Amino acid sequence: MATNDRRGLVLVMTGHGKGKTTAVVGLALRAAGNGLSVAFFQFLKGTWNYGELEVLAGVPRIDVERMRAGYSWEPNRLEEDRALAAAAWKKARAAVLSRDHDLVILDDVNYVVHYRLLALQELLDLIRRKPSRVHLALTGRSAAPEVIEAADEVTEMADLKHHFRAGILAQPGIEF
């Protein structure tokens, strides 16, 4: 039976198809348009110019933080990447627990867990401890089964057909 009680949801966007970040950008805009405050943390996106971030940065009630100028993914820099992930996690975790925002988005956090830059238990602990009225949205491929189980809603993006396979490069305004 559905109820009208307001409570913070845990939303997961995962899968190998495109659209996970795009989905949470839309979610952030919808939330801000309804008067909610949003914290949008991007864990892995580098210094590239992403059109959606330019727009979000100018929207009242949305705070965007790019946590790093891209992880190196180089084996000899693993400790540096772990330190960057730990610093990013500390900020994102504090934002969730502070109750300063109605919606906190952790873009690509599933990758950070998948590549063991953050312990799965840390993410599960945050899901359990988040304030009851704070919404939490998590994106990235390879969401752990435990994260999926803990979520209220999970959307899997599927890659059924992609223009890259036809040799068409990424298009400004479409991919970034």
Is the residue at 106 inside a domain? yes
Is the residue at 176 inside a domain? no
CATH value at residue 105? 3.40.50.300
- Domain with 137, as residue range(s), is 13-152
| Distance of alpha carbon 135 from alpha carbon 176, whole angstroms | 26
Q: What is the pTM of this model?
A: 0.92
| Distance of alpha carbon 75 from alpha carbon 135, whole angstroms | 35
Is the residue at 8 inside a domain? no
Is the residue at 175 inside a domain? no
| Distance of alpha carbon 1 from alpha carbon 165, whole angstroms | 45
Question: Which residue blocks in the chain are alpha helix, DSSP H?
Answer: 20-33, 51-57, 78-98, 109-114, 120-129, 145-150
Is the residue at 144 inside a domain? yes
| Distance of alpha carbon 92 from alpha carbon 67, whole angstroms | 9
Is the residue at 99 inside a domain? yes
Is the residue at 157 inside a domain? no
Angle at 54 between CA 52 and CA 59, to 5 degrees: 90
Question: Which residue blocks in 4-77 are alpha helix, DSSP H?
Answer: 20-33, 51-57
b/e for 150-160, b at 16 or more Cβ within 10 A?
A: bbeebeebeee
Which position has the token pair 């599933």?
A: 110
pLDDT per residue of the chain (176 residues) written in tens, 0 to 9: 566 678 999 999 999 999 999 999 999 999 999 999 999 999 886 666 677 888 898 999 999 988 764 566 677 888 888 888 899 999 999 999 999 999 999 999 999 999 898 999 999 999 999 999 999 999 999 999 999 999 999 999 998 998 888 899 988 888 87
Q: Counting Cβ atoms within 10 Å, is residue 69 exposed (0-12), middle (13-18) or buried (19+)?
A: exposed
Is the residue at 7 inside a domain? no
* Domains identified in the chain, total number: 1
